[in-house]
Structure formats: C-alpha cells, structure tokens
A and B are shown apart, each in its own frame.
Chain A
Amino acid sequence: MTSTVKSRQTVAVIDYGMGNLHSVASALSHVAPEMNVVVTSDPVVVAAAERVVFPGVGAIRDCMAEIKRLGFDKLLREQIATGKPVLAICVGLQALMNHSEENGGVDCIGILPGNVRFFGEHHKDAMNNPLKVPHMGWNQVNHNDHRLWADIPQGSRFYFVHSFYVRAEDQALVAATCDYGLLFHAALAQDNLFAVQFHPEKSHTAGLQLLKNFLHWDGKA
C-alpha cells in the first residue's frame, strides 16, 4: 500500500477522460519511485500536488469540450500561476495554444500565444517526396539549453504521433524544434510551464530522462 510519509511529493496527472494516462503515470513512477503519482480529475488533488502533468490524445474538439466542461482551463491557469512545475504533453500542449485548425477550427485555452496547424493532405519534404500524415515515429529534436534537456544529447530522437503541429508566436518560447517537411515547435517553455509535442513516456531513454528532469525541476527557467 501507499505509504503516508508527509515528505513524499505528489505528481498529479490530470485526467479529463481522453486517452490512456497509464503510460504517463507508469513512466513517471518508473523514473521516480519515491514520488506519489496520481491520475486524477479532482481539482483539489491537483491543487495539492507539487507537480502537474497535463496529457492528452485524440481530437482537439472533444478534448476542449471536456476541459471546459470540467473547468480545467481555469484550473490550469491557476495552477500555472502558483509557480509549480507543469508539464503538458501532445494534445495537452495543443490545448494550451490560442486556436487549432483541427475539427474545422477550435478555440483553445490560450495560455501560450500561437496556433495549431494541419500538416496537410499533400505534405512533402524539401525534395518534393510525399510525407505521411500523421507524423508518426521517432524524429530528431533540436533543443535549447533549458534545464529539462539536461543529459539529453542534441538531436536525440523522440516518439511523435500527430497530424497537427504548433507554431508559437514568440520565438523566445521555443525550447525545441523538429523537422518534418517544415520546421515545427516540438517544445515550448514559459516560466514554470514546459510543453512537448512528442510523447516522453513512449520515448525510451531520452523520454524517461526528460520526465526525470521534470520531476527534479524547481520550475525556474
């Protein structure tokens, strides 16, 4: 059973009914067995946690509908404002932007300035070869010197699966880029918030290192 040692830190993985959160939770537990990882939809539990993870898979329309219905847009703003470390993953990142082209256009939470765009039906690389969409698989990430990249070699490969990509308005927010026919933003960072397009929980060594770095991060840039 879970011990009740008071000093044990809690990581809350926000559950809004979209997709498989067990992978995220088990990867977090794997890199930090000393921490208490909870998958929760209870705002009180989220507020009491020292760290928050905001995942997401699936279509943005359904995700945003659930986020709004549960009041998690407001909860996220409040949690980020406390200064505690927050990590957003995949559609979690996309939901933080202003607007997404998916599902005919969906307004998102608007914590990070920028938009979410479609790779396109006839996406091509620089040599004019067709590229498959979704962008699915292991691609190289070029990152800045943010502390969440500690011990992760430049150009490491992470696992992506997405048809829409993020473009931040402010270059200063860009913590990593990735090339798939075009250069898109693979990670954004703003103070105590770090958000990634790839799935660290599915990215083996490099991904687990990033999660470990997040769990030891004080939230300061």
Chain B
Amino acid sequence: MALAKRIIPCLDVDNGRVVKGVQFLDIRDAGDPVEIAKRYNLEGADEITFLDITASHEGRDTTVHTVEKIASEVFIPLTVGGGIRTVEDIRRMLNAGADKVGINSAAVFNPDFVKAASDRFGAQCIVVAIDAKRVSLAGEIPRWEIFTHGGRKPTGIDAVEWAIRMAEYGAGEILLTSMDGDGTKQGYDLGVTRAISDAVPVPVIASGGVGNLQHLCDGVTQGRADAVLAASIFHFREYTVPQAKAFMHAQGIEVRL
C-alpha cells in the first residue's frame, strides 16, 4: 500500500478552446475544455491541469467561466495556471473552483509573491511551475536554467536551485516542464526531473515531451516524479487514461485503478 503516482492530463486553453502546440509553437485545436475535462474525469484521471495561455482580458474572463463549469462537473482536483500574478488572481481562480493555482513567471519576477500566496492560501494550493531548458553542452556536467514567457526568455537562474528556493518559499508542489521536450514526444528530460525531485521535499510533476506510455513510466521510475503530466497523447486519443494506468501498473508502479 502506498500513495499512487498521479496521471494528470493537461489542457492548454486559449480563448476557451483546448490547443496543443509543439515547443510552444504550431498550435492545433483539440476541442472544448469542459467536454474534455469531463471525459478525463470519467476515465479515471487523478487530477486535471488547466493552463490558460490566453493573452487578452476577454480571454481571461472566458477562463473563469470555463473553470467554473469544469469545477461543477469534475470531482477530482483541478489546477489552474497561466497569468497568475496577484493574490487577487489566485482568489478569483479558487472562487471559480480551482483547488490549486500554478505560478510561473510571476514567481521569477517576484519570488516573495510565492511566500505571500502560500501564507494566505496555504502551501497545498500553490504550485510553482518551472520551465527548464538544458544549457550545458554535451560532455559537461548537466545544468538547466529556467526560462519565462513560454520558453522564450532565459533568466540565468539554475533550475534545481530555483526549485529548492520555491519549496522553501512555500510551494506545495513543483510542476516541472522541460522546454527541450515539450511537444516533441521524445519523453521527459529525466535528468532535470530526477535532479529536482531528489532535491525538494515537495511533490514534483513531470511535464513536457510524452509520446508514449513508456515515457510516463520512465518519469516515475527514472525521473522519480510523483505525478506525470501529458497533453496530446490523451487529447488526440492516441492513448486513454485507463490504458496509461494499466501500462504503469503492469510495470509495478502504484496507480489508482
């Protein structure tokens, strides 16, 4: 008996539609977020992550309504990230029915925001999202840096040190996305996943690059992630959540069946 490793389908939502891009570009429509979330809930997903990639204010209002609709029909935890910059943004999302919020760029620009958010709402609902990219060359000791603005802006901050600091500041969980892997279907960056997972006391969600079910297993067994996140393999029906769980279970990974 042990805590199950979580499987988390991720909805990247732009103006009320689920989209999926490759390395943050080449966006493809994947459907209605409420319908997709309901399907994952029914299939036995352990949690749903909703990333709002909308740039406009109108889009943000749409997001609140979409979160409300999902929360009233989906009875598993819901994390909402994207554009969370203030305590008021967090309150708005929690009131709409989110259980956790993902803080990304705002944490980089103002790390104390994570402290304030965690103090106010509790560490259990503060997920710090880290976009990491390998910056070491082949043959060098591996090193990853965090990037902001959808992976476009380097910050010079070491990803592992940053994760440790964010956990100290009150992050209840780390959502780690490998920029190199995202959308490529080549698998998670297991090096950075393992490095961060071993370094922080809080749970780590591996994200970015899942192309098949073995990648999910590798994220847990080699990356030591507590949860594995994937988008396109589920959205485009390459695999269902029950298939993913059965596959992981067959490899001896504890999952909720």
Given known A58-B122, A204-B75, contact A20–B94 (CB-CB < 8 A): yes
Interface segment, one of A3-11, A78-86, A129-137: A129-137
Given known A132-B201, A136-B173, A137-B46, contact A22–B95 (CB-CB < 8 A): yes
Give residues 104-161 of A contacting B (CB, 8 Å).
121, 125, 130-140, 155, 157, 159, 161
Interface of A is mostly: mixed
Contact across chains for A133 and B202 when beta carbons are under 8 A apart: yes
Which residues from chain B contact A136 at a C-beta distance below 8 Å? 124, 172-173, 203, 226
- Among B3, B94, B96, the most chain A Cβ lie within 10 Å of the Cβ of B3
Distance of B48 from chain A, by nearest CB (Å) = 11
How many B residues touch the partner, as a band? 35 or more
Distance of B16 from chain A, by nearest CB (Å) = 20
Q: Tally the A-B contacts, defined by beta carbons under 8 Å.
A: 104
Contact across chains for A180 and B3 when beta carbons are under 8 A apart: yes
Distance of B46 from chain A, by nearest CB (Å) = 6
Which residues from chain A contact B226 at a C-beta distance below 8 Å? 132, 136-137
Contact across chains for A157 and B4 when beta carbons are under 8 A apart: yes
How many A residues touch the partner, as a band? 35 or more
Contact across chains for B98 and A201 when beta carbons are under 8 A apart: no
Residue in A19, A137, A163 whose beta carbon sits within 8 Å of that of B4 in the complex = A137
Please list the residues of chain A having a beta carbon within 8 angstroms of any beta carbon in chain B: 19-20, 22-23, 26-27, 30, 57-59, 121, 125, 130-140, 155, 157, 159, 161-163, 179-180, 199, 201-204, 207-208
Further pairs besides A20-B97, A137-B203, A159-B76: 5, Cβ < 8 Å: A22-B97, A138-B3, A155-B1, A180-B3, A199-B77
